[in-house]
Amino acid sequence: MNSWGNIFRLTIWGESHGAEVGVSIDGVPAGIVLSEEDFVADLDRRRAGSAGTTTRKESDQPHIVSGLYNGYTTGSPLTITFRNENTRSGDYSNLVRQPRPSHADWVAQKKWNGFNDPRGGGHFSGRITLGMVAAGVVAKKILGDAVRFSTEITEIGGERNKDKFAAVIESARMDQNSVGGVVECRVDGVEAGLGEPFFDSAESLMAHLLFSVPAVKGVEFGDGFESARIRGSQNNDPIIDMQGRTATNHAGGIVGGITNSNEIVVRAAVKPTASISREQQTLNIESGAVEPLIIKGRHDVCITLRAAVVVEAAVAIALADLKLRR
């Protein structure tokens, strides 16, 4: 399903090398001041350009084609589209025959009997996250200024010292390889009470969106996997005031699936980019044999760099949907 949400519902579409990618957002309250300018900062965070990112550059110009009038949202669906411009379809022609390891090529062929659009990963391209980033901008407007996001990369290739991130990436690039990383999103100022038992816990909704983002393979809240390794007395957060603040925040701002007014802390593990330049082995579906594969085209060495804002968008979207349900 390419739709998500209960009240704040987004629908996305597009392929890497098709005419456009887009998102239509339903349930946006009327009267929010909005312009195409508002999307620039987050779209820039997602764009290629820095070291470790692909050299394919798109203008990523958002077009608001519905739901806005006189600079305010109208209450009807807010639709934002992006034209695909800088496409080089020729780069990908051999990938139908030889599906890339750990990429969606083979499952897409299998699932849609070969009718999937294979160019640049088609609908599985990271380019589809443009719509999620745009929806995240709107979500943050709904949450309001009192809710502050702080998103950063805490690990790249196992390295936690930020000063060394550039070197880790450069080393992988020189090696015609790629590296993964971990993104941490912290959200301050979230009111208590967001999250619906049983199935729509705040954690469930965030994780649902985060695992929709290509390359995310793990999600944890608060101490996450580390909390599984300690005792209750170490993990419990004593409540210390009537606002629900806790002395510690091992829970990452969510207990029983419901926000408790403390800072929300969520981390997503991003795997290394599947497309690497060095030679790999994989099946040739014509010959039926495993053969060498060289992936051409332009790819990110460390997709984590561009994924950070997408993680933030996912968290914001989940919180906005929960807020509007109240």
| Residues in 138-177 at the binding interface with a copy of itself, rule: CB under 8 A | 155, 157-158, 172, 175, 177
For position 50 contacting a copy of itself by CB under 8 A, the verdict is no
Q: Tell me the two tokens of residue 203.
A: 């954690």
Q: Are 148 and 140 in contact (CB under 8 A)?
A: no
Cβ–Cβ contacts within 10 Å for residue 100, how many?
18
Q: Is the dihedral of CA 275, 180, 149, 221 positive or negative?
A: positive
Report if residue 262 touches a copy of itself, rule: CB under 8 A: no
54 or 79, CB closer to a copy of itself? 79
In the region spanning residues 286 to 325, those forming contacts with a copy of itself, defined by CB under 8 A, are: 288, 290, 304, 325
Cα–Cα dist 67/288, whole Å: 51
Asked if 73 touches a copy of itself (CB under 8 A), the answer is: yes
99 DSSP assignment: P
Distance from C-alpha of 49 to C-alpha of 56, rounded to nearest angstrom: 8
- Contacting range for a copy of itself; rule: CB under 8 A; set: 39-47, 52-60, 140-148, 231-239: 231-239
Determine if 54 is a binding residue for a copy of itself (CB under 8 A): no
Q: Binding segment for a copy of itself among 35-43, 49-57, 144-152, 226-234 (CB under 8 A)?
A: 226-234
Asked whether 285 and 97 are in contact (CB, 8 A), the reply is: yes
β-pairing verdict for 68-69 and 181-188: unpaired
**40 vs 192, which CB is nearer to a copy of itself?**
192
Query: Closest separation between CB of residue 214 and a copy of itself, Å?
Result: 7
Looking at 93, 152, 217, 294, which residue binds a copy of itself (CB under 8 A)?
217
CB 213 within 8 A of CB 133: no
Helices 304-325 and 129-143, axial angle in degrees (round to 10): 50
Nearer to a copy of itself, 94 or 204 (CB): 204
Residue 180 interacting with a copy of itself (CB under 8 A): yes
Instruction: Report if residue 257 touches a copy of itself, rule: CB under 8 A.
Output: yes
Residue 97 CA to residue 103 CA, distance in Å, equals: 14
Residues 18, 120, 126, 136: which binds a copy of itself (CB under 8 A)?
18
Stretch that binds a copy of itself, among 38-46, 52-60, 139-147, 245-253 (CB under 8 A): 245-253
